[in-house]
Amino acid sequence: MRVDADRDVCIGAGNCVLTAPEVFDQAADGLVDVIDPEPAPHLEQSVRDAVVRCPSGAITVGGPGRPGS
């Protein structure tokens, strides 16, 4: 899985950070920072939950990422 977040769309709600703190962080400006753009397979469900919970639709996921993910 490959994770991207559009900082031009992010409104800094922080839901992604609460949902998948291993993958997302908030930068000093409050907007999303993807700290692990190719998360391990065991993190994929929480990333998908973060996509659903993001109010702005800033997060996109795609593949392929790391082999086996």
Task: Please identify which residue in 2, 13, 46, 48 interacts with ligand SF4, judged by CB under 6 A.
Answer: 13
Q: Residue 47's CB: how many other CB atoms inside 10 A?
A: 21
Q: Which stretch binds ligand SF4 (CB under 6 A): 5-13, 41-49, 60-68?
A: 5-13
Q: Which stretch binds ligand SF4 (CB under 6 A): 14-22, 38-46, 61-69?
A: 14-22
Q: What is d(CA 50, CA 68) in angstroms, rounded to the nearest whole number?
A: 21
Token pair listed for 34: 């993807």
Task: Establish whether the linkage from the previous residue to 64 is cis, with ω within 30° of 0.
Answer: yes
23 contributes a contact to ligand SF4 by CB under 6 A: no
10 contributes a contact to ligand SF4 by CB under 6 A: yes
